[in-house]
Amino acid sequence: MSPVHLVRLLDLMRRGEGRGEIEVALVDGPVLVEHPDLSTSSIRAVPEARGGSCTRAGSAACAHGTFVAGILVARRGSAAPAICPGCTLLTRPIFSESVDDLMPTATPEVLAEAVRDSVRAGARVINLSVALVHPSPNGESKLQEAFDQAARRGAIIVAAAGNQGSVGSSAITRHPWVVPVAACDGRGAPLRVSNLGSSIGRRGLSAPGENITSLGTNGEARTLGGTSAAAPFVSGAIALLWSEFPNASAAQIKLAVMRAGGRTRGSITPPLLDAWAAYQALSAGYDGRRVA
C-alpha cells in the first residue's frame, strides 16, 4: 500500500493542493530550491535564517532538507509524495552543510531559537525532523519556553520521535503541545528503529517511514526511511486540513487529527494518522463551512 493510501491522505489531496497563506516551517537542512520539482513551489527563508538554500547540493544537510521538502511541497506528479504543494514552505536551516551525518542534530538552544524564529515568521505548522544533542537543564528550559510560545501563537509543532529504537521520551516529545511521530511500515506496524514511549503513544501519531521516495539533489529520486520521513506526512496533512478550514484554531485542527476515528490510547505505540477521518471530523464540527 502506498504511503498516502495508508494514512488516507489521497482523498484529502484530491480536494486541492493547499493554500499559500498556510505556512509550514521546515527546521532542517537547507533546501535545493532550484530543483525542477520545487520550481513552482512557494519557498522562502525565515527572515532571521542564514543559508536557507543549498551551497553544496551533495551535502548531507542539503540532501535531508530537500528530501523532507519534497514530501511537503514538491510538484504533484513528481517522485515525491507532494502533499501540500500550494502551501508556503519556510526554511529555517539548523545544521551545517559541512556535516556529513544524514541524521540532523541540534542543541536545545539552537532548536529553541529556530522554533522562535519560525513562530515570528508566521508559521502555522513547524516540522522538526531532528534529534537533540548536548542536552542541558538550561537548554531544555529554553526549548520548553519556545514550545510554549508556539502554543500561545497557535503554531502546531510536529516532531520526529527519533531513530534510536528505544523506549522513552525526550525534551521534544514530552512537551504537551508537540505531536511526536513514530515511523511505521507499509502495513502500519512500527519500525524497529523508531523510538516509542508513553508520551509518544499518548500524544503522537504513526506515519509511513519505510522506503519513502522523495526528491534527491543529484537529479534522481531518493529513497529513505525513519521518523524524519514520517513527520512531514503529519505536517502535510495538518497543512492541507488548515487549507480546507482556514478559520479553524490550532487547537481544533490538532484535536481533529489526534482524535480522528475515535482511537483509544494508552500504548507506547501511537495510532496511525487518518487524514480523511480528521477532515470528516472537522466537516461535521463546522456544519460544512469549509473551502469550496
Inside any domain, residue 292: no
Please say whether the beta carbons of 133 and 106 come within 8 A. yes
Inside any domain, residue 143: yes
Q: What are the pLDDT digits (tens) for 144-181? A: 999 999 999 999 999 999 999 999 999 999 999 999 99
Nearest CA-CA partner of 129 in 68, 80, 183: 68
Mean pLDDT of the chain: 92
More confident residue, 176 or 287: 176
CA distances from 66 to 140, 213, 222, 256, 291 (A): 28, 12, 10, 29, 30
Inside any domain, residue 267: yes
User: Which positions ≥6 away from 5 have C-beta within 8 Å?
Assistant: none
Inside any domain, residue 290: no
Q: What are the pLDDT digits (tens) for 190-221? A: 999 999 999 999 999 999 999 999 999 998 99
Bridge partner list, 88: 23, 42
Q: State the pLDDT at residue 52.
A: 66
| The pairing of beta strand 221-224 with beta strand 212-215 | antiparallel
Q: Give the N- to C-terminal CA distance of the chain in Å, as an integer.
A: 30
DSSP for 197-209, written as a single string: -HHHHHH-EEEE-
Using the predicted structure, report yes or no on whether residue 265 has a pLDDT greater than 90: no
Please say whether the beta carbons of 60 and 102 come within 8 A. yes
Inside any domain, residue 139: yes
> Which residue in the block uniquely carries the three cell numbers 539552537?
110
Q: What are the pLDDT digits (tens) for 235-246? A: 999 999 999 999
What's this model's pTM, rounded to 2 decimal places?
Answer: 0.95
The number of domains in the chain is 1
What are the grid coordinates assigned to 176, written together?
504537551
| CATH number of residue 267's parent domain | 3.40.50.200
User: Which positions ≥6 away from 123 have C-beta within 8 Å?
Assistant: 23, 24, 25, 90, 155
Q: Which domain holds residue 37?
A: 3-285
Inside any domain, residue 212: yes
Return d(Cα 34, Cα 36) in angstroms, integer.
Answer: 6
